[in-house]
Structure 1
Amino acid sequence: MVEHFELRRDIYHDSVVLMQAGNHLRALDGIDQCLVAMATDLNIQLLDDLGFESEPINSSSTSGLIVAIRAESEDVISHAIRELEATLEARATSGSADSEVHAHRSLGAAVREAQANLAIISLPGPHVVPEAADALRRGANVMVFSDGVSIEEERELKSLAASRNLLVMGPDCGTARLGGIGLGFCNDVSSGEIGIVAASGTGAQHLIALLDARGMGISNIIGVGGRDMSDDIGGKSVIQGLRMLDEDPATTHIVLISKPPGDKTARRVDEIVKSLKTPVTMGLLGDAGVDLTKVARDVASARGMPFEATRSELSGQAAARGPLIGLFCGGTLATEARQIVGDALGPVDGLEAFETLAPAAIADHEGNAILDLGDDRMTAGRPHPMIDATIRREIIEALAGKPAPRLLFIDVVLGFCADADPAGAIANALHDFRRSHSEARVIASVVGATRDPQGLEAQWRTLADLGCDVYESNADAARAVAQALCGRAGG
């Protein structure tokens, strides 16, 4: 085998573009391994994990592009480089021949020309604030899909929006639905009368999937970003969203869901909720006994609707052996799972317990851990794991190579913009993991609606056929994990 390595400095490409380019190269004949990614700390660690013999890259190089290829011959590498250049060039010029597409030099100019009232921003974090502020000053609400925005910048943007009676959804707002149109990671659910304000993207997805399966439709989802209910932000967008839904004639019931809020913000939001004319169901994770399935059940009860028992399919796996490793795409799903398992077993580690976040280091961890692979630290310079399963697949592959078994807990999240086959993307890794550790156990929660493009039943069957225990409810899956681990410990 021969290797090619280069660091192209002062170049930026979107992580999804690089994911597609890397996938194209890996499919070429004669390619053993490749990495095409921005030079973030995590990707630099991954380069070492993949066994590339490159010169050390320091953190000052993180504006550069890593191109690393291992192949059968120099000719194969030369061909791969030509293919990479063609792929990146094609992406850079796509749409330019379309007379209907008009490129603008700024988001503000685009907002002005289109007379738009909503601007959606997906840029590297350092470039978000000027564009978002420009759009707000031109009278547009803003949805910020990007992460990597500081909490001080978020507070400033939301204060600017409030002063103009506008809304900032995000940063790190992955899910919204406005006027029946899903934005970002949203599921294909029926329209209805339930409006949602969500400081939680996958939390909103799980809730609407549970409601849709029981005949309850959605009017709007206002995503606000996971930090909005912190005391640093003070619920600025949550409060704005609640007031907007309260004035929405299509909404007869409001649901607020959030990761654990700040105490001061929780009290302030509670005061606002009491002032609204529309009934509100509160779902604040961190409160005793609150989980997303209970919130869905509470909504059904408030509306006088039955709530069918959640679905599960058990494979008859042996009792769990080894510590827990949870690999989650959804941050709120990870938070919910960590809370439920932690209540039963004691503290469960998160990303903060790891000095390095390379797959091999994660696989070596000896304690119980549930990790949010969509956290900012994991997505710098690479696509979100709901789009690209690479990081999770590599961790599972690393686990398969370890001598000790683990209880593996995963979520699989469907919907628009997500991986076309999220269960299939990790199926081979799961198969190898089960083959290496026949006594290990895999528990999965599947978040999705019947009409989602990935096919809910197909995703469910993929996991069940691999011998996973599959749950519709993430909370039920977490309780099953806790029970399995308590049983192992004799609890």
Structure 2
Amino acid sequence: MKSNIIVKKNSFYDSVVLMTVSKAVKSMEGVNEAVVVMATDYNKELLKNVDLYNEEVESCTPSDLVIALRAETAAQLEAARTKVDELLNRRNTGGQDYEPPTLDSALSYMPDANMVLISVPGMYAAAEAEKALNAGRHVMVFSDNVSLEDEIRLKKIAQEKGLLMMGPDCGTAIINGVPLAFANKVPRGKIGIVGASGTGSQEISSIIGRLGGGVSQLIGTGGRDLKAEVGGIMMAMGLEALLADEATDVVVLVSKPPAGEVMDKILKLAQDSRKKVLVHFIGADLELARGKGFETASTLEETAYKAYEIAYGPAPQDTEEKELSLKARGEAAKLMPRQKYIRGLYSGGSLCDEAMVLMKRVLGKVYSATPILPEEKLPSKDISKEHTIIDMGDDEFTRGRPHPMIDFTARQERFLKEARDPETAVVLMDVVLGYGANIDPAGELAPYIVKAKEIAAKRGDYLPVVISLCGTFDDPQDYDAQKEKLENSGAIVASTNARAVKTCLEIISKGR
């Protein structure tokens, strides 16, 4: 086996580009490993794990590119290196679209554009956002790893100018029917959403769409907007916009638990409105909201159903929950006594949080790298303990890597690791469809579902796999085709996250 490690100093490439290059080269004949990444701490750990690491890589900074290859022969190694160079040097081959190199040139090219979506490394995002705001444009900052101080400063600038500043780390928005970043194809309708919760907003809007309803606007805020330091600036502005919007009959507010004073501020804004405002702060005590006369919900699914029924009347009914319960009973009967624990591997942070909240109500302790309680933080993010739920889209996992809704590599590897643990009773994962996400997530996961079950079977165990499938029937991935592919690989597929979690809880309870 031959290997080669090449370092290119100060050579930045987008993580999605590097993911594509790595996959293409690794698929070449005789190539055992191909890792083409920026030298972030997380990626250095990845290189160590595949034994493609040396002192030069150790000294690299996150602005350095590492090309690490392993192949069976010297000729195959050279072919792989040539392919990497070819792919990295390729620029818009056969394409006609103009890609402006700077924000200024983009605004010159599209002078009528009134919104700028920013997706650059976090260290540069704040400066670009400030330029866009000063140019009088609304801004959506998809980038993460932006300081809290920069977020507060940018949102105050936007507030003074009467502009939206969605983010940073804002993964989802639908503005005037246009999906931005990770968003689903949802019809226009009467329900407006303001969300400090990307996949939470996707889950709600997708369920509404599948029920036959629609969304007027989905305004993202970024996950930290309701912290005391930020003060809910963007949620307040989004709420005021929807309360004044003639096309919006019902407003949904969704977030992780806000600071107490921020919750009070937001509820006061909505209290005198004639429009119905539905509140779901994941895991928060909503007694204050109920006491002020607001409609509340305990899950993302319930939020979607209540919003639909307020706007449109009774929701269509289905038999899925009964069917899932029967499947859970069948899966539980196949478990060995030593299989005790749920292991959740999520790409969506809000879906991960909801899973932890729902599981803790039944199981007590649930460990995570991003736990609800500090005492339930994993000693190592890479090693599960008892019931464990991981948000693999958290900053700790994504520095220098594409988001796990795009690149399934990290989840695939962790999935097989959980399958090797004889105490794993069921693996729970989310699959999120829509714009921006992987075009065939089921195709990425299905072979690994089969392989994970084979790993368990070799030691005499059976491994249930439960998938929460978030999306609409109009999403580019084809909802029904994705569901069928996952089920054919041996997974149980639930149409909501709450139902998927309930199915896992039934599996382990009936397996005891």
Per the shorter chain, which TM-score range?
over 0.9
The 5 A counterparts of 1:14-29 are 14-29=14-29
Q: Bigger shift: 197-206 or 273-282?
A: 273-282
Distance in 2 of aligned mates of 1:111 and 1:391: 36
Deviations 1:407-437 (A, max 9, x none): 2111111111111111220111111111222
Q: Check the 8 A contact 1:450/1:457 in 2, yes or no.
A: yes
**Aligned residue for 1:457?**
480
**Aligned residue for 1:301?**
309
Structure 1 residue identity aligned to 2:368 = G
Structure 1 residue identity aligned to 2:391 = D
**Aligned residue for 1:448?**
471
What 5-or-longer segments of structure 2 have no aligned partner? 286-296, 371-376
Q: Which contiguous aligned blocks of 4+ residues in structure 1 show a shift greater than 6 angstroms?
A: none
Structure 2 residue identity aligned to 1:382 = R
Structure 1 residue 287 displacement after superposition: 3.1
Distance in 2 of aligned mates of 1:61 and 1:102: 28
Structure 1 residue identity aligned to 2:116 = A
Structure 1 residue 215 displacement after superposition: 1.3
Q: CA RMSD in A?
A: 2.1
Structure 1 residue identity aligned to 2:404 = P
Distance in 2 of aligned mates of 1:62 and 1:180: 37
Structure 1 residue 60 displacement after superposition: 5.8
**Aligned residue for 2:391?**
372
- Provide the secondary structure at the position in 2 that maps to 1:367: coil
Deviations 1:145-171 (A, max 9, x none): 111101111111101110111110111
Q: Check the 8 A contact 1:40/1:59 in 2, yes or no.
A: no
Distance in 2 of aligned mates of 1:398 and 1:345: 23
Structure 1 residue 324 displacement after superposition: 1.6
Q: Check the 8 A contact 2:449/2:491 in 1, yes or no.
A: no
Percent identity for Structure 1 against Structure 2: 35
Distance in 2 of aligned mates of 1:268 and 1:349: 32
Structure 1 residue 56 displacement after superposition: 6.8
- Provide the secondary structure at the position in 2 that maps to 1:188: coil
Paired residues, number = 480
- Provide the secondary structure at the position in 1 that maps to 2:45: helix
The 5 A counterparts of 1:17-416 are 17-55=17-55, 57-58=57-58, 61-90=61-90, 93-94=91-92, 98=96, 101=98, 103-104=100-101, 106-108=102-104, 110-111=106-107, 114-287=111-284, 290-303=298-311, 305-309=313-317, 311=320, 314=324, 315=327, 316-319=330-333, 321-352=339-370, 353-357=377-381, 361-362=382-383, 365-416=384-435
Query: Given the superposition, is the C-alpha separation of residues 31 and 96 from structure 1 closer, same or farther in structure 2, using an over 3 Å criterion?
Result: closer
Structure 2 residue identity aligned to 1:255 = V
Distance in 2 of aligned mates of 1:280 and 1:400: 43
Distance in 2 of aligned mates of 1:102 and 1:21: 20
Q: Check the 8 A contact 2:186/2:209 in 1, yes or no.
A: yes
Q: Check the 8 A contact 1:443/1:477 in 2, yes or no.
A: yes
Structure 1 residue identity aligned to 2:151 = E
Deviations 1:254-286 (A, max 9, x none): 111111211111111001111434321111111
- Provide the secondary structure at the position in 2 that maps to 1:427: helix
Deviations 1:182-232 (A, max 9, x none): 111111121112111111111111111111111111111111111111212
Structure 2 residue identity aligned to 1:425 = E
Distance in 1 of aligned mates of 2:269 and 2:83: 56
- Provide the secondary structure at the position in 2 that maps to 1:119: strand
Distance in 2 of aligned mates of 1:431 and 1:96: 38
Q: Check the 8 A contact 2:188/2:216 in 1, yes or no.
A: yes
Q: Bigger shift: 30-39 or 298-307?
A: 298-307
**TM-score after normalising by structure 1:** 0.92
Q: Check the 8 A contact 1:112/1:138 in 2, yes or no.
A: no
Aligned counterpart in structure 1 of residue 496 of structure 2, from 473, 478, 488: 473
Structure 1 residue 53 displacement after superposition: 4.9
Q: Bigger shift: 243-252 or 397-406?
A: 397-406
- Provide the secondary structure at the position in 2 that maps to 1:458: helix
- Provide the secondary structure at the position in 1 that maps to 2:35: strand
Distance in 1 of aligned mates of 2:94 and 2:141: 25
Q: Check the 8 A contact 2:441/2:482 in 1, yes or no.
A: yes
Q: Bigger shift: 185-194 or 329-338?
A: 185-194
Distance in 2 of aligned mates of 1:279 and 1:162: 25
Q: Bigger shift: 58-67 or 381-390?
A: 58-67
Distance in 2 of aligned mates of 1:378 and 1:309: 38
Distance in 2 of aligned mates of 1:94 and 1:346: 53
Q: Check the 8 A contact 2:164/2:234 in 1, yes or no.
A: yes
**TM-score after normalising by structure 2:** 0.89
Q: Check the 8 A contact 1:188/1:449 in 2, yes or no.
A: yes
Structure 1 residue identity aligned to 2:299 = D
- Provide the secondary structure at the position in 2 that maps to 1:61: coil
Distance in 1 of aligned mates of 2:145 and 2:366: 26
Structure 1 residue 245 displacement after superposition: 1.6
- Is the aligned partner of 1:435 residue 2:454? yes
Query: Given the superposition, is the C-alpha separation of residues 59 and 172 from structure 1 closer, same or farther in structure 2, using an over 3 Å criterion?
Result: farther
Distance in 2 of aligned mates of 1:376 and 1:439: 33
- Provide the secondary structure at the position in 1 that maps to 2:472: coil
Deviations 1:115-171 (A, max 9, x none): 421111000000011110111011101000111101111111101110111110111
Structure 1 residue 173 displacement after superposition: 1.1
Query: Given the superposition, is the C-alpha separation of residues 94 and 349 from structure 1 closer, same or farther in structure 2, using an over 3 Å criterion?
Result: same
- Provide the secondary structure at the position in 2 that maps to 1:255: strand
